[in-house]
């Protein structure tokens, strides 16, 4: 039964992710998406990034004790209903966050396996992919890889066509996680922008027309944060995905002509 919306009782949604000082992705995008979709947003910041629309110039990982202190402060007081995990940066942080999630057991967990920005800047150490796969994916209700991330989780080449994406499904279904939402936005040459929800042996395609714009920085963060927000409001997974996909489509459309930075 979806959460009854009222101002006093908004579901509390936690994002555990990195800060994007330019406001397009990361924690900043998550807080906007959670707030706009009816949740109350709180955050654990795993890293500071210095970046703008042209790229990332510096990354500062939050000390583990400070990540732990943020997690304990939030879970020790706020009744969190859903968690979204984004940029973690390295194996140590994955370990700290996974241990906290095992301890506090939020009702819903969305893991966005953030690895690299659209400009090619690394947001996860290469040697941390195994750790992510083994420590965090089994805890998630759903993971939301883009195509490069799905390929990296399997150690395969990045698919460039629809048929190559479908060829990854069998491997993805072997991963130790409950459900996977694979995002097709990277298939630049396609006229559509389908996402696929793999749950057990079932595959459901959420197909929408591609919106032609360069303003897509932060769309992965926004989708996964909206998904956590809708799960926290009590929607079942496929309906939460449908709502989150509709939300991100409307957000991309609304922002398609916005000019911020260079
Ligand atoms: N998290 C942070 C802190 C980032 O800076 C980025 C991209 O720059 C991402 C996540 C991933 O962004 P996207 O939603 O574009 O995949």
Quick check: ipTM above 0.95? no
Distance in Å, CA 4 to ligand 1 centroid: 31
State the distance from the centre of ligand 1 to the C-alpha of 110, rounded, in angstroms: 15
115 lines ligand 1 (CB under 6 A): no
| Residue ID of nearest Cα to ligand 1 atom 2 | 26
Q: Which of 117, 113, 238 is nearest to 186 (CA)?
A: 117
pLDDT of residue 117: 83
153-184 per-position pLDDT tens digit? 999 999 999 999 999 999 999 999 999 999 99
Name the DSSP letter for residue 141. S
3-state helix, strand, coil in the chain (%, to 5): 40, 25, 35
Told to judge if 183 belongs to the known catalytic residues of this protein, a careful annotator would answer yes
Residue 252 phi/psi, 5° resolution?
-65, -40
Domain 11-255: which CATH number of 3.40.50.720, 3.40.50.1100, 3.30.420.40, 3.40.1190.20: 3.40.1190.20
| Domain residue extents for the chain | 11-255
> C-alpha angle with apex 88: 87 to 89, nearest 5 degrees?
100
Sequence-ordered alpha helix ranges (H) in 105-209: 129-131, 147-154, 162-173
User: In this predicted structure, what is the pLDDT of residue 60?
Assistant: 97
Which residue from 52, 117, 228 has its CB within 8 A of the most atoms of ligand 1, so it is best to mutate?
117
The model carries a pTM of 0.95
For residue 189, the model assigns a pLDDT of 79
Say what the pLDDT of residue 120 is.
80
Asked if 247 and 33 count as a contact pair (C-beta separation under 8 A), the reply is yes
Q: Is 220 a catalytic residue?
A: yes
Which residue minimizes the CA distance to atom 13 of ligand 1? 218
Flag residues of the chain having pLDDT under 50: 1, 6
């Amino acid at each position: 039964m979806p959460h009854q919306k009222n101002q006093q009782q908004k579901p509390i949604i936690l994002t555990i992710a990195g800060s994007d000082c330019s406001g397009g992705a990361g924690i900043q995008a998550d807080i906007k998406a959670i707030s706009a979709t009816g949740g109350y947003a709180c955050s654990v910041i795993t890293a500071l990034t210095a970046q703008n629309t042209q790229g990332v110039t510096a990354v500062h990982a939050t000390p583990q004790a400070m990540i732990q202190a943020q997690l304990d402060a939030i879970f020790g007081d706020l009744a969190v209903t859903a968690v979204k995990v984004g940029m973690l940066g390295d194996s140590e942080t994955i370990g700290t966050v996974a241990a906290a999630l095992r301890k506090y057991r939020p009702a819903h967990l969305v893991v966005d396996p953030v690895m690299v920005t659209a400009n090619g800047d690394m947001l996860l150490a290469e040697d941390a992919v195994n750790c992510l796969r083994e420590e965090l994916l089994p805890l998630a209700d759903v993971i939301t890889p883009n195509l490069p991330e799905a390929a990296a989780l399997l150690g395969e080449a990045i698919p460039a066509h629809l048929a190559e994406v479908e060829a990854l499904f069998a491997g993805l279904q072997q991963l130790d996680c409950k459900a996977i939402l694979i995002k097709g936005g990277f298939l630049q040459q396609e006229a559509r922008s389908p996402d696929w929800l793999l749950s057990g042996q079932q595959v459901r395609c959420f197909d929408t027309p591609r919106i032609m714009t360069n303003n897509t920085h932060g769309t992965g963060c926004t989708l996964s944060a909206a998904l956590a927000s809708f799960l926290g409001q009590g929607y079942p997974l496929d309906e939460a995905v449908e709502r989150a996909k509709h939300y991100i489509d409307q957000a991309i459309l609304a922002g398609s002509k916005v000019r911020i930075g260079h």
